[in-house]
Structure 1
Amino acid sequence: MGFVPRDSAVSRFAASHLGPEQRKRAVERMRSETFDVVVIGGGVTGAGVALDAASRGLSVALVEARDFAAGTSSRSSKLIHGGLRYLEQLNFTLVREALKERGLLLTKLAPHLVRPVPFLIPLKHHVWERGYIGAGVLLYDFLGSIFGTSRGLPIHKHYSKTGARRLFPGLRDDALIGSIRYFDGQIDDARHTVTVARTAASLGAAIVTSTRVIDVLRSAREVVGVRVRDMECNEEFDIKARTVVAATGVWSDDISEMLGGRPGLRVRASKGVHLLVPRSAITGDAGLILRTEKSVLFVIPWGGHWLIGTTDTDWNLDRAHPAASSVDIDYILEHVNRVLERPLTHADIEGVYAGLRPLLAGEIEATSKLSREHAVVEPMLGLVLIAGGKYTTYRVMAKDAVDAAARRLRNVPPSKTTEVPLLGADGYGSAWSARASTARRHGISVGVMEHLLERYGTLTGELLTLIDTNPALGRPLPGAPEYVRAEVAYATRIEGALHLDDVLTRRTRVSIETVHRGLESMDDVAELMAAELGWDAATRRREVEHYRARVAAEHESQRMPDDLTADAARHGAPDVRGYAVDAGATHA
C-alpha cells in the first residue's frame, strides 16, 4: 500500500510494537539499566512525557499499573478544544495555549486521530446574548487564526431560529431564538494515548503496562528510582533512574505519601459522567453546547452515536473505578431534554462512563471552579510531579515536566515534539485520497477502510497485512459490526493489550457503544486474544467471567441513588489485574 516506512525508519516502526515479546525485553531493560527518566503513569500526560524525553535523546522507561489511558485519559469528552467557556473567565492564556495545540494536532501531529466537529450554541435571548456570545466566539476564532490553528476549520456563523432548526431539527421550537455555529476538534482519547506511547517506544523508550509502583527509591535526600510490582507475574524489582517524573493524575497524593507525606501537589478529583445514545435518537447535523447550573453540557456526534455529558461533582471514593449513579444519569437526561423535541429516556442509553478530572486544589472552591491549568513541582531532588491541565494541552504539560527534569541532566536539548508527528500521521492525506483503490486491492469495503484510517492512519497497512494473511480477520466482531476482528489481533500483538477489558474498553469502544456493553463480543475477542497471548482454557474463562462481572457491577451502580451506594456496587467486580484498590498506593 505504500504505508510502511522505508530505510532507517523501518527499525523505528518495528520498535513501536508493544506486544508480549517487547514487554519481556522492556522488563529486562528496566531490571538492568539506569534511565535518565522514569515516568510513572500511562495516561496521555505520562505517555507525552516519555515521548518528549525520548525525542530529546534521553533514555526513558515508563510504567503503568493498569493499561494505557485506563484512568482519566479514556473517559474525557473526547474533544480537542481551546475551552470557549474559559474566555468568559478571562483566562486568555489557557485558551491561547490550547488553541495552538489544537492546531498542531489537527494539521501536523495527529491529523488521522483529530477531526473537526461543528457545535451549535442555542440562543435564548434577543440582541444582547447574540452580541455577547458572538463576541466571545469571534475572539475564539481570532485567537485560533493568530496561531495558525484554525487552518481547515470554518469560522463561526450566525443562524436564525429557522436556520438553526434546519441544521438541528431535533431541537424544540421553544429552545432557541437563533444560534451560533463554531468548530472544534474531536478525538478518540484512548486511541490517541496508545499512539503517543507507541511513538515514544519507536524512539527507544522502554514501556511496560500492568506494572505498579509500590515505592520510591531514595539515597539520602535524593530520589534514585522506583520499586515496582509486575502485576502479570507478581514479581517485584527496582528501576534505577537519574530523575523520576510522576504523571499520576488523581493519584498524585499517593506519591507524597510514599515520601512520608512530603508536600507535593494538592489534587482533587472531579467526577464527569457521559452517556451514549444512538444517532437515530436525536436528529441533528452538529453538536450542541448547553449551559447548566453546575457545568457545561455537550451533545457531540460520535460515529453512529451521540455522546452527552458531562457532570462536574466532587469525588472522594474509589479512584480506579469511578461509578455513575442514577442521579448522574437523570441529571444529564433532565438537562438535555429541556432542548430536545423528542425526549430521551433510559431506554435510549447504549453506554455510560465516568471519569475523574485531576484538578489543582484550592482551599474551599467547588470542583467546577478549580484550576484547569497545570503545575510542575519538585518536592524532592530527582522527583518531578506534574498534574492538572486538560487533555488538549498534554504536550505542553509533558514539555514542562521534562524541562524540570532536564535541570538535573547535562546537555539536554529543548523539546522538539512540535515537529514529531505521531505514528500513522505521515502520509495520511495521500492514504485517505487513495482509500477506495486500496480497499478494492485488499477486498474490503470503503467503509471499513475509512474506519481503519480514522483509527490507525497509515498504520492501517499493518492491519491490512493481517487481513491479507488471514482473511477471517476481516470479518466484523459479533455484536459490534463496525469493528473487524483484525483490530483485536492488532491490539494484542502490537498495542500492548493484555486483558479482555483492555480491548473492549480502550483499544475499541465496544463497552460503551453497544447496549450489551460488549457481552455479545467478549467470547470472540477472548478467542482471538488467547491465540495471541497463549491463554489456556482457565485463563480465558477467568477473563470472560471478570468482564461479565464488570458489566453487571456497572449496571448495578448506575441504578444506585448516590455516589456511596454506586461505588459499593461497582466494587462487586474486582480488578482483573488482581490487586485490591487501596488509598495508599498509586494506580497510574
Structure 2
Amino acid sequence: MGSNDGVHGQLGPEQREAAWARLEKQHFDVIVIGGGVVGAGIALDAATRGLSVALVEARDLAAGTSSRSSKMFHGGLRYLEQLEFGLVKEALKERELALSTLAPHLVKPLRFLYPLTHRVWERPYVAAGLALYDTMGGAKSVPGQRHLTKHGAQRLAPGLRDDAMIGGVTYYDTVVDDARHTMTVARTAANYGAVVRTSTQVVGLIKEADRVTGVKLRDTDDGRTGEAHASVVINATGVWTDEVQALSRQRGRFHVRASKGVHIVVPRDRIVSDAAIILRTATSVLFVIPWGAHWIVGTTDTDWNLDLAHPAATKADIDYLLDRVNEVLVTPLTHADIDGVYAGLRPLLAGESDQTSKLSREHAVARVAPGLVSIAGGKYTTYRVMAADAVDEAASDIPARVPESVTEKVPLLGADGYFALVNQTVPLAEHYGIHAYRMTHLLDRYGSLAEDVLAMADGKPELLQPITDAPAYLQVEAVYAAAAEGALHLDDILARRTRISIEYPHRGVDCAEQVAGLVAPILGWDADDVDREIATYRARVEAEIESQTQPDDKAADALRAAAPEPRPQILEPVPSER
C-alpha cells in the first residue's frame, strides 16, 4: 500500500508507466471505471479504507460532466421547494465539510442576491425557506439570510434594472473550480495508494461463469491493450453508465438520461454587482456567478441523445441565456460580450419507461451482477456520499473485511496547512519573487501544494513569468500540470488544469504554441507531436465556435463531432438502446 510513487500523489509520466505495469500484474480489491468526481471519490474512499484500488479513465480526469458544472458546491436550496429535505440536509453537510475541512483551498463562500419580484407573499415565503435552510446547516460557517429593501438590493447590484425587483434577500453558497477539485480528489486517492491512470479505456469486462472478475483495457494514446483483475468492478461513468453496462450483457437496474446544461462566460465589468445573483425562470433558476475576472451565466436544461463526449451548445441555447439574463440587466449582454461557452451533460436517473418523467437528481447504486456495481445520478456536491455508498455496496464482493468510510476526516491534497499559508501570503510572495495577488491565485488553486508548483521554477526563473496570451496563469502552472497533475494533452491543460479555454476570447488558441513548447520536454513530444497537439486543439476550438452558431442540436453536434480527438486510439462505444 503506502503512498503513490513520488511526492504527494504525483501523476506524471513516470507514474503513468508504473501504473500500466501494476494494472497488468496486481489483483485489486476494486477497479473503478470513470475519472469524474464520483469515480475519483470512490477511489479515494476505497483507498482510505485500506483497499487496493485502480481507477481508469478513457479520456482525462473530469473530462465529462465534472468539468462543466455551474461551479458550485451548492446547498440545494431549490430542493426545499420540492420538499426534498433529506437532499438539502445532505448537501449542506457536504458543503460545510468541503468549506471547513476537506477542500477550503478550492471551495469558497459566495454571497448570493435573490431579487424579490412579488409584493406581499414572496418575502415571507423566501424567508421561511431560507430560515429552514440556515437551520439545516446553511449558516454554519457563513452568514445567514439578510433582507434588503429595494434600495439596499440596488446598492449591492447596481447592474440590475430598477423594475427588476421590489427588494432582495441575500444568502450564502459556494464557488469551486470543479475540474481542479476532481483532479485533486484523484491525486489524493493516488497519495493513499490508488493506481490512477487516464487515457485508459475499458473496452470489455472479464467474466468467469456469471461473475465479473476484471476489465479489458486499451491505452487511448498508443493503442496497447491489457487486462486488469479485481474482486469487484465499479461503473462510475455518469452519462456513459448504460454503455459500460452493455458490456456486461446484463440488464441494468436503472438507466441514465443525459440532460444538457449550457453556460456562458462574460467579462466581470459587463454586470455591476457585488454578489452572485439567482433568478427564477419559468422552469428553473438562472445563476450569475463571479468567476475570477468573469461571470458565469447558466444554465439550460434540455434532453440530449447525441455525442456524449462533446455536447455542443447551439445558438438557441446561448440566445435563451442572454434573453433570460437581459430581462433584469440595465445594460443588456450581447453575443459579442461572450468570452467562453461550455456545455455539459447531467446524468439523470430515468425509470424503466419514459413515462417516469420525474428524472431524479438523487443517486442510485446497484449490484448489477456478481462483481459489478453501478452508481449514477446524484450531483457534484454529494460525490463523497455517493462514493461511500458505492464502496459499501461493493463490499459484499470483497473477501477481506471492509472498514467504514473515513473520507469525512480526510482533507484533500493542499488543504493541510492552507489556512496558515494564507496568513503568510506576503512573505511567501516575496520569497518566490512574485506579486502577492499571484500567491493568492496559487493558494486558491493548489493550497499548500503551491510550494511544490513554485519549486518547479528553481533555476528556471522564466517559468515564473505569465503565459503570454493568458496572463492570469504562470508558465510553471502548465509545466506542473504535465509533471504532477496527469495532463497528457493540450486540451487537458487549457480546458481543465487551467480554464483558459473559457476565460479568454481566443479560447486558448493564442497560447497553444507556447504551452505546447513548455510541456513537450516533460511529455516527451517531438516536433511532430507538438504540431499535432496544436492543430488538434485549434480544430476543437474552431468546431466549438462554429457549432455555437447553429440553430439546433443536430447541426451543432455534427460540426463538433467532426473535430479530431486528442486521444487518437479512443474507441467509441457501440451505442446501447438509449
Please indicate the TM-score interval, normalised by the length of the shorter structure: over 0.9
Percent identical among aligned pairs is 57
Match 1:430 to one of 420, 425, 439: 420
Report the CA distance between 1:38 and its aligned residue. Answer: 0.2
Read off the aligned partner of 2:90 and give its amino acid letter.
Answer: E
2:111 and 2:334 mapped to 1: Cα distance? 25
**2:332 counterpart of 1:347:** no
Q: 1:419: which partner in 2?
A: 409
For 1:464-543, what aligned pairs fall within 5 Å after superposition? Answer: 464-543=454-533
Question: For each residue in 1:458-501, what CA deviation from the matched residue of structure 2 results, as whole angstroms up to 9, or x when unmatched?
Answer: 00011121223311110111211110000000000000100000
Aligned to 1:153: 142
8 Å contact kept, 2:425–2:436 = yes
SS at match of 1:79: coil
Letter in structure 2 aligned against 1:216: L
Question: What secondary structure, in the 3-state scheme, does the structure 1 residue paired with 2:373 have?
Answer: strand
Structure 1 unmatched runs, 5+: 1-7
Amino acid at match of 1:467: A
Q: Displacement of 1:12 after TM fit?
A: 7.8
Deviations 1:384-434 (A, max 9, x none): 000000000000000000011112222111000011000000111100000
Mark the CA change 1:465 to 1:253 in structure 2 (over 3 Å): closer, same or farther: same
For the Cα contact (< 8 Å) 2:36–2:65, is it kept in 1?
yes
Q: One-letter code of the match for 1:392?
A: T
Q: For residues 226-237 of structure 1, what are the structure 2 equivalents within 5 Å?
A: 226-237=215-226
Give the distance between the partners of 1:220 and 1:10, measured in 2 at CA.
Answer: 35
The runs of 5 or more residues in structure 2 that have no matched partner are none
Is contact 1:40-1:213 (8 Å) kept? yes
CA-CA distance at 1:307 after TM superposition = 0.3
Cα distance, 1:185 vs structure 2: 1.2
Deviation at 1:582, TM superposition (A): 3.4
Q: Does 1:258 align with 2:251?
A: no
The amino acid across from 1:298 in the alignment is: F
- 1:381-400 matches, cutoff 5 A: 381-400=370-389
Matched, 1:446 2:436: yes
Query: Aligned residue for 1:5?
Result: none
- Answering whether residue 47 of structure 2 is matched by residue 58 of structure 1, we say no
How far the C-alpha of 1:195 sits from its partner, in A, is 0.3
SS in 1 for 2:546: helix
Whether the 8 Å CA contact 2:238–2:376 is kept in 1: the answer is: yes
1:76 aligns with 2:69: yes
Deviation at 1:265, TM superposition (A): 2.3
The answer to whether residue 93 in structure 2 is matched with residue 100 in structure 1 is: yes
Q: Is the 8 A contact 2:543 2:559 kept in 1?
A: yes
| Residue-by-residue CA offset, 1:125-181 (whole Å, 9 max, x unaligned) | 112000111111111111016xxxx33311110001100000000000000000100
Distance 1:63 1:583 in 2: 16
Equivalent positions of 1:149-228 (< 5 A) are 150-228=139-217
Deviation at 1:95, TM superposition (A): 0.5
Shift of 1:329: 0.1
Corresponding position of 2:259: 270
Question: Which amino acid in structure 1 is aligned with residue 457 of structure 2?
Answer: I
> For the Cα contact (< 8 Å) 2:3–2:9, is it kept in 1?
no
Q: 2:442 & 2:16 partners in 1: Cα distance?
A: 25
- The letter for the 2-side match of 1:548 is R
Give the deviation of 1:579 after TM superposition: 4.2
Is residue 21 from structure 1 mapped to residue 11 from structure 2 by the alignment?
no
**Residue 137 of structure 1 aligns with which residue?**
130
Call closer, same or farther: CA 1:566–1:226 in 2, change over 3 Å.
Answer: same
Structure 1 residues 75 and 254: CA distance shift in structure 2, 3 A: same
Deviations 1:487-534 (A, max 9, x none): 000000000100000000000000000000001111110001112112
1:263-342 superposed matches below 5 A = 263-342=252-331
Name the SS for the 2:457 alignment partner: helix
Q: Which residue of 2 aligns with 1:457?
A: 447
Detail structure 1 runs of 4+ shifted over 4 Å in the superposition.
8-13
- With normalisation by structure 1, the TM-score equals 0.96
Counterpart CA distance in 1 for 2:6 and 2:350 is 41
Whether the aligned pair in 1 keeps the contact of 2:4 and 2:190 (CA below 8 Å) is no
1:111 aligns with 104
Q: How big is each residue's C-alpha offset from its partner over 1:198-230, in whole Å with a ceiling of 9 and x where there is no partner?
A: 000001001110011000111001000000101
The letter for the 1-side match of 2:196 is I
Shift of 1:233: 1.5
> Structure 2: how far apart are the matches of 1:74 and 1:307?
14
Structure 2 CA distance for aligned equivalents of residues 334 and 261 of structure 1: 45
| 8 Å Cα contact 1:15/1:204 also seen in 2 | no
Shift of 1:291: 1.4
Distance 1:383 1:11 in 2: 26
Change (3 A) 1:581 1:213: closer
How many equivalent pairs are there?
574
| Cα distance in 2 between the residues matched to 1:444 and 1:559 | 41
Q: Is 131-140 or 538-547 further displaced after alignment?
A: 131-140
Is the deviation greater in 569-578 or in 170-179? 569-578
Q: Deviations over 1:521-572 (max 9, x none)?
A: 1111000111211211111000000000000000110000000000011023
Question: Which among 538, 553, 562 is matched to residue 563 of structure 1?
Answer: 553
CA distance in 2, matches of 1:12, 1:552: 39
Look up the equivalent residue of 1:50 and give its one-letter code: A
**Are 2:12 and 1:46 equivalent residues in the alignment?**
no
Per the alignment, residue 576 of structure 1 pairs with: 566
> Residue 361 of structure 1 aligns to which amino acid in structure 2?
A
Q: Give the counterpart letter for 2:438 in structure 1.
A: V
Cα distance in 2 for residues equivalent to 1:469 and 1:9: 31
| Amino acid corresponding to residue 27 of structure 1 in structure 2 | W
- Kept in 2: contact 1:112–1:425 (CA 8 A): yes
- CA shift, 1:352, in A, is 0.1
RMSD: 1.5
* CA distance in structure 2 between the partners assigned to 1:294 and 1:130 by the alignment: 20
575-584 or 290-299, which deviates more: 575-584
Q: Which moved more, 1:468-477 or 1:344-353?
A: 468-477
Alpha-carbon shift at residue 261 of structure 1 (Å): 4.7
Cα distance in 2 for residues equivalent to 1:560 and 1:203: 46
Answer yes or no: is the 8 Å Cα contact 1:253–1:264 preserved in 2.
no
The SS at the match of 2:397 is: coil
Cα distance, 1:263 vs. partner? Answer: 2.2
- Partner of 1:275, secondary structure, is strand
Change in CA separation of 1:546 and 1:484 when aligned onto 2, cut-off 3 Å: same
Question: What one-letter code is carried by the residue in structure 2 that aligns with 1:98?
Answer: A
CA contact (8 A) 1:256 1:264 kept: no
Q: Which amino acid aligns with 1:435?
A: T
What's the CA shift for 1:292?
Answer: 1.3
Q: Hey, what's the Cα distance between the residues in 1 that align with 2:147 and 2:301?
A: 29
On the 8 A contact 2:314/2:552 being kept in 1, the answer is: yes
Assess if the C-alpha contact under 8 Å between 1:442 and 1:468 holds in 2: no
SS at match of 1:520: helix
CA contact (8 A) 1:265 1:385 kept: no
User: 2: distance between equivalents of 1:112 and 1:442?
Assistant: 20
Residue 581 of structure 1: how far off its partner (Å): 6.2
- Does the 8 Å contact 2:223/2:569 carry over to 1? no
* Deviating more after overlay: 311-320 vs 294-303: 294-303
Deviation at 1:365, TM superposition (A): 6.0
Q: Mark the CA change 1:117 to 1:280 in structure 2 (over 3 Å): closer, same or farther.
A: same
